[in-house]
Each structure stands twice: as C-alpha cells, then as structure tokens.
Amino acid sequence: MNYIVLDTEINGRVWKSENPMEVISIGAVKIREEDLNGGDLKNDSFYEYVKPIYKYTDYARKFTGIPKQTIAQAQSFASVIEKFKQWVGHEEHVFIGWSDSDKLVLVRDSKINKIEEDWVDNYIDLQAYIKRWIPEANNMQVSLRNAIELFNLEWTGEEHDALDDAANTAKIFKHLCKGITGNIVQEFMRGTTCKLFRKCEQCGKLYRPKSTRIKKAKKCNKCYRAAMKAKQGS
C-alpha cells in the first residue's frame, strides 16, 4: 500500500464570480508501507504548477507567492493530472489530504476538463479524523500549522506551498500511524466525511449539495428554489 499525501493551491479570490477557483499547483509525497517509521518525506515527491482556464488573480498570486510568469508557462490541468497519475503508479494506494477541500477541487476541475473523476475516490480527510478522534483537538477546526504544534512536530518549508503543506501533512499522518495496530486505511476512514460536487440537471453548473432535499432534487440551490417557487405559483 502506498499513501499519497497531497495538497493543492487554488486560483482564489475574495469577490463573487461564476468562474471556478481552479487548481494552480499540486504537491504530493509518496509514503510506502515500509517507510511509515522513517525515510525522507520528499524523497519521492511530485510538484507541478497548473495553468487555469480563467485569469490568474492578484489575490491568489499574493496568497501563494507564485509569480504570474510561472503560471503562464505551466501546463493545463489535464496534462498535469496525467503526469500525476503516472507518478502515483498502479500499485494499491490511497490519497490523504488535510481536509476534504483538496478532493473536492480535484473532482470539480476533473469534471470541468472532462476527465473521469473517480481516480481520486479513495481519499482520507486527515483533519476530519483528528477533529473527531483526537481528544486534544477538542472537536474543533484545526489548521495544519496548529496540528503540527499539537503533536509537537517541527514545521518545515513555507505555508501555502503545495509540496511543503503536503510534507507537513505527511508528518502528522506518520506520527498518528505509530499508535495504530490494525488496518491503517480503515482506521483513518473513520473520520472521512468528504462530499462531492454534483452537476445540476437543469442549468448544468457544478454545485455542492448542502441539504438532503437539494441533493435528492439533483438541482443547484438557485434552480431548486426557482422550481419550488414555480410549483407554489401553479
């Protein structure tokens, strides 16, 4: 079993827009079963920038520190994901991220780029596991840096750098593995509650279901409310 600990940075913004906040970088480290108790975390790593479909925002540039020229020269999401899959390989593996957001953006961008999104199905949300099962976390939302401090580990690299964030997440994962005697994947899956984006059957836009009614209706919130209003008016 290989454990692929990943992180993504996105083309973020603080203003409303219909454009998706696409992935602009992917970082990951590969931990083999025999390396859980040692080894260099960046010995087998993946790091690529991604050129988004929509304009690279100044907000994302300042937040991540990635120069505009670097993004302009980067490859498309489809090309980078193909390289990423080749790096992951065909051995049995599971993806691990600090929260469900990395899986969600990878699924969404896969759909946008007409790529089958099931490649990232097997995914562990490490933050959710810690929040639910580690008493010291006190059932609170814990940041990656706070978790490093919580377990008395040393932070390395820069925040909001995809590879450095992946390496720090891997540190926490390996630390938690020390106390597990059974199946590691089954243990960490106990905390995973990752939801997926769906495609609205009416307008075709991607949305994340926030209620059981909207999920059953298979419509985004806007189309669902419009349908209910039309139904009440008839």
Domain ranges of the chain: 2-195, 197-234
pTM for this predicted structure: 0.81
Two structure tokens written together for 209: 């279901």
Q: Give CA separation, 25 vs 171, 174, 194, in Å.
A: 20, 24, 21
Q: Is 116 exposed, middle or buried (0-12, 13-18, 19+ CB in 10 A)?
A: exposed
By C-alpha distance, which of 30, 3, 172 is closest to 94?
3
pLDDT at residue 214, rounded to an integer? 43
* Superfamily (CATH) of domain 2-195: Ribonuclease H-like superfamily/Ribonuclease H (3.30.420.10)
Mean pLDDT of 103-125: 93
Of 3-17, 134-148, 152-166, where does mean pLDDT reach its minimum? 134-148
Task: Categorize the per-residue pLDDT at 2 as very low, low, confident or very high, splitting at 50, 70 and 90.
Answer: very high
Q: What is the pLDDT of residues 205-233, one digit of tens each?
A: 656 665 444 445 577 778 888 888 888 87
pLDDT at residue 200, rounded to an integer? 74
Mean pLDDT of 8-33: 94
Mean pLDDT of 114-122: 91
> Is residue 197 pLDDT above 70, yes or no?
no
